[in-house]
Amino acid sequence: MRTCRLLGHRPRFTAEGQTLYWECERGCGERGEKRYRSAQDAARYAAAFNRQDREDLGRRPLLSLLPLGLARRRRGGRKRPPRSQADS
């Protein structure tokens, strides 16, 4: 499938018993399986591998803080005034 060639596969994971299965969501036929020691391990890995960055959008800043750090470094960093003895 051209989409997978250009953008890469989009695997989706499921667990049945001790076996973890994956298959490309785009329907190109890429698939596989792996057996784990326990059904709990297989289910845990399936849930972890299916997680996408889009699901965390509300918990993380939408824009990277990298440009702010670079600007601060360029200015010479933010200097804090020394703490006085009264603050301690």
Q: What is the pLDDT of residues 30-73, one digit of tens each?
A: 899 999 999 999 999 999 998 876 655 566 565 666 777 778 88
The boundaries of the domain holding residue 15 are 1-52
- 6 lies in some domain: yes
- 33 lies in some domain: yes
- 69 lies in some domain: no
- 42 lies in some domain: yes
Phi, psi (degrees; rounded to nearest 5) at 49: -70, -25
- 68 lies in some domain: no
| pLDDT value of position 63 | 63
- 88 lies in some domain: no
Mean pLDDT of the chain: 79
| pLDDT value of position 18 | 96
Number of domains forming the structure of the chain: 1
In contact, 20 and 33? CB cutoff 8 Å: yes
pTM of the predicted model, to two decimals?
A: 0.56
- 4 lies in some domain: yes
